[in-house]
Structure 1
């Protein structure tokens, strides 16, 4: 038979198959493989043998098809199906490995391998494959009901495996962790939580000056700021001065978000020119606001004694921040990682962090009156006050503690030379 004759025979077989003339198509495909190892014909006949539950014949036909076209993953998948239905786990694994050797991201090969791993008790391997399935699921916009069931099973398996691993880790490390402070184990705990899928790890996102190679730490270790004790001791004085201001008919607050006319709608639009987030600045972009300092002289004097970052036209910024009931600040990042932002809580609704709280990266904290903390505002953060009472804190910025004295001096000289950039800086 010539190549042309073989081609005409294949065309006739394919036409009969498409027309639904099953017996004729099978007869013609058998005629093809009698004279040539044609992979399509071998595959069609293998699928027919599968339907008749003749595993031996089907496997032989699929192996012949693979020998003729070893780079076709669908042939390996059909051989895997044949082995699975025949109860041949080893054969199924070999076939699935064949498909994955051609395409490591073959979706159904990953699904079938994960299922096989589970049946054989290879739970670590199943976790790897189900995790791969879930990663690929993000690209499937409208999965079928059967595929949705696969994804649900994958999520449940991964969650269960991680919960079991977390329990083993917690139990196995209890004696070691028990002897450490929360601060001493904080980074390790974040590492474990990320490995177990319980939290993300966030990087710096600076809208302005980005100082490289500084640690991207969400909350700075309090030990970097020994003067926080002195600031916290002044909480009653600062709070009393703020409460007196807020009791006035005109406390002098301004909307923190004040975007120029014509600014396109964005995540800050709902707060624009509104006192939902109000501020009274004592310092702003390195300039002391004398009129406001005169209204809060004791607080201003306390601030003057703190080791703030002074850069011409840039820092410090110090202000009372008032978040009204029912207000949420969207996730955002600040301008430069050369700063550390300090929050000193002054008036805090007694509802807990779920109602009135603050998140930096993967860690959420509540505010406690008189307990200050420092964080890197170039890591994504957000604040909310869903209580029935206002929340008030004092916000100020100081140097990032990981900068050396020489680096601070260089930055100060740079600020004297280069004009300060304009623009809104979200600092809460």
Structure 2
């Protein structure tokens, strides 16, 4: 057969196969499609059609071999992955099929681009994948029961299991400006790393009293976001220069606000034991952050992983929340935490009253003094080279 005859021959074989499928003559359909696929082995749809014919005839293993021929050409082909998973579910069971369903879901197009049959198949893939993940998660967590794990070890192991089984997304650091090497991506840090947390929490009533004395309408409360017109606003369009989210700065970009600090002596005293980084134009930083009712701070990341961030909840009505990476926590007045703000995070106040917290920089415990000095010198050199102070970026 000449090369010029091949396309018309393949078309003839496809037409004969379609006619045979309509007659439910699956043996003939398989024969015609086998011939077409062998003449055009690079055409994915021929192998999938052959697999469908084998499946219709009850030859599931042969159908699986045909699908595998398709995947040899296009390993990420969604229809082939979905069919392979369906066949494995019938041949070997859910546990064999679930990982392939998971691979298919990673390649799945929007439901709007699928016909009804494909949408049903995709919904089944999601259901099987989710159920298998939940069952695997339960089995793996049960394996921990016999181990004498401490509280932290138990928590770490459970997070590991949740990530392994797809129940918890893995978030990486994504600093907007300064990405120091070798630092781990930890959403909320262990309180044991920061012995000054308990004394700070003990001072929370006095700190809250100073914040409440300032009030929610004080002229010293300025918009938390104040991006210049020349800088992209992106997700901050609704909050930029808005009094829906305000700050009362004690230290801002390393500069002390004498007027504001004079009004908050108890807060300054409580922050004194907190180790903060020292970098010109950048840190230390400390402020009261006030989020008005029915306001949400969109998902974002901070500018530098060379420091961590602390929050102390002062006035938090029900309906407020905070998420860092895959972990969401409810605020409790008088309680503090330390987190890595270069991991995607967001906050919300769905209540009818304002929410107020104390926010402050925390010196990174894994960066030695010598490296802290190098970081500060590099940042200062950047400012000197550019001839301008650093531009404010969201923390």
TM-score (norm: length of structure 1): 0.83
Give the match for residue 184 of structure 1.
153
Give the match for residue 95 of structure 1.
66
Pairwise CA distance, 1:279: 1.1
**Paired residues, what number?**
391
1:322 is paired with a residue whose SS is strand
Give the match for residue 207 of structure 1.
176
Give the match for residue 47 of structure 1.
18
Give the match for residue 258 of structure 2.
290
Structure 1: distance between partners of 2:106 and 2:275: 47
* Cα-Cα RMSD: 2.6
Give the match for residue 21 of structure 1.
none
Q: Is 1:244 aligned to residue 208 of structure 2? A: no
Q: Is 1:407 aligned to residue 375 of structure 2? A: no
Give the match for residue 393 of structure 2.
425
Structure 2: distance between partners of 1:67 and 1:326: 63
Pairwise CA distance, 1:267: 1.8
- Aligned runs of 1:23-62 on 2, under 5 Å? 38-62=9-33
Structure 2: distance between partners of 1:251 and 1:3: 86
Q: Is 1:260 aligned to residue 224 of structure 2? A: no
Distance 1:258 1:76, change over 3 A: closer
Q: Does the 8 Å CA contact 1:245/1:251 hold for their aligned counterparts?
A: no
Give the match for residue 151 of structure 1.
122
Q: Which sections of structure 2, spanning at least 5 residues, go unmatched?
A: none
Pairwise CA distance, 1:39: 4.0
Pairwise CA distance, 1:119: 1.6
Structure 1: distance between partners of 2:380 and 2:49: 71
Give the match for residue 271 of structure 1.
239
Give the match for residue 22 of structure 1.
none
Q: Is 1:373 aligned to residue 337 of structure 2? A: yes
Structure 2: distance between partners of 1:306 and 1:265: 32
- Aligned runs of 1:377-392 on 2, under 5 Å? 377-392=341-356
Q: Does the 8 Å CA contact 2:94/2:128 hold for their aligned counterparts?
A: no
Q: Is 1:331 aligned to residue 331 of structure 2? A: no
- Range with bigger deviation, 108-117 or 138-147: 138-147
Structure 2: distance between partners of 1:342 and 1:387: 23
- Range with bigger deviation, 229-238 or 211-220: 229-238
Give the match for residue 30 of structure 1.
none
Q: Is 1:316 aligned to residue 280 of structure 2? A: no
Distance 1:185 1:404, change over 3 A: farther
1:231 is paired with a residue whose SS is helix
Q: Does the 8 Å CA contact 1:308/1:397 hold for their aligned counterparts?
A: yes
2:144 is paired with a residue whose SS is helix
Distance 1:314 1:106, change over 3 A: closer
- Aligned runs of 1:215-230 on 2, under 5 Å? 215-230=184-199
- Range with bigger deviation, 417-426 or 113-122: 417-426
Distance 1:264 1:226, change over 3 A: closer
Cα offsets for 1:299-332 (capped at 9, x unmatched):
2233334322111221001111111211111111
Structure 2: distance between partners of 1:231 and 1:123: 52
Distance 1:142 1:43, change over 3 A: closer
Structure 1: distance between partners of 2:347 and 2:84: 44
Give the match for residue 29 of structure 1.
none
1:270 is paired with a residue whose SS is coil
Cα offsets for 1:97-148 (capped at 9, x unmatched):
2222233233333222222112223323311222222222136652222221
Q: Does the 8 Å CA contact 1:324/1:390 hold for their aligned counterparts?
A: yes
Q: Does the 8 Å CA contact 1:73/1:103 hold for their aligned counterparts?
A: yes
Pairwise CA distance, 1:374: 0.5
Structure 2: distance between partners of 1:394 and 1:170: 37
Cα offsets for 1:204-236 (capped at 9, x unmatched):
111222211111111122222112222222112
Pairwise CA distance, 1:412: 3.3
1:216 is paired with a residue whose SS is coil
Structure 2: distance between partners of 1:66 and 1:208: 53
- In structure 1, which of residues 358, 378, 396 is the aligned counterpart of residue 360 of structure 2? 396
Pairwise CA distance, 1:417: 4.1
Q: Does the 8 Å CA contact 1:279/1:320 hold for their aligned counterparts?
A: yes
2:117 is paired with a residue whose SS is helix
Q: Which has the larger radius of gyration?
A: 1
- Range with bigger deviation, 136-145 or 321-330: 136-145
